[in-house]
Structure formats: C-alpha cells, structure tokens
Amino acid sequence: MMQNSDYDVVVVGAGPAGLLTAKEVASMGCSVLVLEEHDEVGKPERCAGLFSISGLKMLGIPLDHSYIQNIVRGAVFFSPSGRSFILDTKRPIAIVSNRELFDKFLAHRAALNGADIVTGKAVVRIVPSDDVSFVKTSDALLRAKMVVDAEGRSGFLARHIWKNWRPKGWIPIIQVVVENHRMDKNFVYLYFKKYLKDFFAYLVPIDDDLGKLGVAAKKDTKSLLFRFLQEEFKHTKILSTTSASIYAGPPLELHQNCRVLPVGDVAGHVKATTGGGVVYGGLCAIETGRYVANFLLNGTGTHEYQERMNKIYSQLKSMYRLRLLISHIPLKLYDPMFKAASDIGLDAWLSSKGDMDRHGDTVKAMLKSGTAFKLFIRTIFQVLKDALGIP
C-alpha cells in the first residue's frame, strides 16, 4: 500500500537500477516510492545473472549466500569450428546469481533504508513540469519533486518524455535452464557461431548439473536456439524457458527533463560487449540517487553529477566501439586468432591485467603494452601457416 500521494522521489521500476537509486535516495533522508508493475520483485527472471565480484564491490553490494548460485574463475571461448581459448584466472572473479533472489535482496536493503516499494502497480504516464511531476497509475495520481525512470527496455514512458528516445541495439534472446550440461561449473562458456551473427551463445553453469543457456538473434531466435542445442548440448533437458532482449548499442544521451531522470536499460546503461546491465546501470543509479537527494536537500550537485556520469558514459561508449570492432572481425579469423592468443600467453596477461567490467580499458592496456600488436602479428602468421598447410 502507498502511504501517501506525495513523495520527494518516485522511482518507476524495481529492477536493480531502480532499487539502487531508491536505496541511495532514501539513505540520504528523502521520501521515496518505488512502483513495480509486476506482482513480485525479481519476476520474471530474464538474464543469466552473471556479475563480476569487483563490479558488485563497486556497487557496494555484499556477497550474500541468499542469491549466489555459483562462483566462477574464468571463461572458455569457442570459435565457429570449435577451437577453444581458455581464460583461467585461478581465483574467484564472478558469481552466478538467482536474479529473483538478487533483486529481492536489493529491495530489502532499499526498504531498510526507508523506501516504500509497491508491486503490481503499473505507471501509465509521467507528466513532468518545472516544480513538480505527476505519476499516473491506473487508479492513482502521485506528486513527486523528482521522478526516476527505471522502467527497463520497454520505453513506454520514456518515449513520451524524451523525443530522442530511439535506442538501436536491442536483440531478442531466449534463455533456457537445462540439466545435464556436462561442463566444468568453474567456467562460463561463450560460443561464436556462423549462424549467430548478432551475438554469441552462452552457457552459465548454476552447478555441476544445471545451467543457464542463452541464444540471441534478431531473427529466428527460437529455431537458432534449437540448432545450437542440437550441435552442442543435445544431451541436455530443458527445464524452463524465458525470453527477453539484450542491449548492444551505445548509451543514450537523455538529459534531465523537468525533473525526470532515466537510469538502467531504458537509458542504455549496458555493456554492449556482453549485454550486461546490472553493474553499469547500478553505477548510474547510485550517482543519480546521490544527485537527486543532494539537489532536493541542498540545491547542489549538478556539475559534479554530470562529471561523474560523463566518466561512466566514456566507459560505456568505449565498450560499444569495441563491440563494433569485434562485429567486423571475419569469423574465419577466429580460429587463427584463438591459436595466436594461446601462443602469446594472452590468458595469463588477461588474468593479471584484464578487467571484466572495463573492456575498453583492457584493450587500451593491450595496445600500450604491445600485447595487441603481438596478437595481430601472431594471428597473421597463423593465417599464413593455415593457408600453406603448415602444422
């Protein structure tokens, strides 16, 4: 139940971005209401729930057994022909979460800090103005000094607020939970296939038996999923299926509009290289929450907020440029490139100097250290060897 119709801040959406915003605002002394259209926080679960441990630390989210399903130490990449490149850091680097329980964990923290959270309440319109904004639901009209739009990818509300809300980069994805995956649970698995031109397929193990398997494609996603299963995991049994979309585009330049701010998927706060939005959506949410509270309480913080958001956007843009670069690498080069990566010890370099959440910075470090040049030369050498039939 909503305690009143007037709040300092109304947050639309109880995903991680909305809940982290609400927690930050409430902890600074402002009244905040979170409205979630679904009947339960965390449902439906629509992503693999793979988060880096360093990313969660940046967000100030403690590792908690309530939502952790698995802990992984590396990744295995497969080329279209099946050649593999193994990245084994030999230390815990990421967790696999139950997204429903993870979101509920964030909701509990937000509520403990004073946020009101109401589920089963869809917002049908945000009406902004210079001094106060109105949030309309099917049966109520709420007033708020500030509104944060964390509605997710639909953009139902955003398209009426920002005329330039035209995200390009959403890719449909189908994720299934399978049993009997027969893979080492300490790694996640990425598959690059000729018929999956828009994105890669993945297996994220939950334990020794269960795993989350996903295929993303702009067309024929369901048929491509079953093709992938038949090729790589025909021995598995599907236990459940969900469908959603992942974002592989640039962050959107949606500025404050009459005291309405966007965070999370709706603003493209997503790593274009992997489609993961929790860490960067969360960073933007925390900065937005601090700004909103400081602005309402003290009338300050605008310049500092813009500077901090610019730094986050710089990271997001660099990862988008990296994704564009990767998308232009011919698939026939993956085999020699994976072989070259193993030959130059790229796995050891990435284990010590790579960053799971700053792919752009990792590439810059590769360029600066000469590692990228070594990879390029070795790949060309391997291409020539393959062309000449030299083992």
How far apart (Å, rounded) are the C-alpha atoms in residues 328 and 320? 13
pLDDT at 168: 86
Are 265 and 156 a contacting pair, CB within 8 Å? no
Alpha-carbon Rg for the chain, nearest whole angstrom, is 22
| pLDDT tier for residue 390 given thresholds of 50, 70 and 90 | confident
Half-sphere exposure in the Cβ direction for 200 (13 Å, CA): 22
Tens of pLDDT, residue by residue over 342-362, are 999 999 999 988 888 888 899
Residue type, 37: E
Tokens for 160?
């009426």
Per-residue model confidence (pLDDT) at position 145? 94
- Maximum mean pLDDT: which of 91-105, 129-143, 353-367: 91-105
Tokens of 317: 């843009």
> Rounded mean pLDDT of 129-152?
92
Which one-letter DSSP state was computed for residue 40?
Answer: S
Residue 368: pLDDT above 90?
A: yes
For residues 213 and 185, the answer to whether their CB atoms sit within 8 Å is: no
- Tokens representing residue 88 in the block: 């084994």
Q: Which residue has the tokens 């319109």?
A: 125
**What sign does the CA torsion over 117, 121, 123, 128 have?**
negative
Q: Token pair of 241, please?
A: 């299926």
Degrees, nearest 5: CA angle 384-388-391: 90
pLDDT tens string 44-57 = 877 889 999 999 99
Whether residue 199 is predicted with pLDDT greater than 80 in this model: the reply is: yes
pTM score of the predicted model: 0.93
Q: What is the pLDDT of residue 386?
A: 78
Q: How confident is the model at residue 1 (pLDDT cuts 50, 70, 90)?
A: very low
Closest CA to 183 of 126, 229, 128, 233: 233
Query: Which amino acid is located at 52 in the chain?
Result: S
Lowest mean pLDDT among 166-180, 197-211, 247-261, 319-333: 247-261
Burial of 163 (0-12, 13-18, 19+ CB in 10 A): exposed
Percent of the chain with pLDDT strictly greater than 70 = 98
- SS3 string, 241-252, reads EEEEEEECCCCC
Say what the pLDDT of residue 3 is. Answer: 52
The string over 275-309, giving b where at least 16 C-beta atoms fall within 10 Å of a residue's C-beta and e elsewhere, is: bbbbbbbbbbbbbbbbbbbbbbeeeebeeebeebb
Q: Hey, what's the torsion of the CAs at 262, 155, 106, 23, to 10 degrees?
A: 30
- The answer to whether 21 and 11 have CB atoms below 8 angstroms apart is yes
| Average pLDDT rounded to a whole number, residues 206-220 | 96
User: Burial letters for 119-133: b for 16+ Cβ neighbours within 10 Å, e otherwise?
Assistant: eebebeebebeeeeb
Q: Which domains does the chain have, with CATH numbers?
A: 6-43+98-166+250-319 (3.50.50.60), 71-95+170-247 (3.30.9.10), 330-388 (no CATH)
What mean pLDDT, rounded, does the chain reach? 93
CB atoms within 10 A of CB 69: 20
Taking the alpha carbons at both ends of the chain, their separation in whole angstroms is: 70
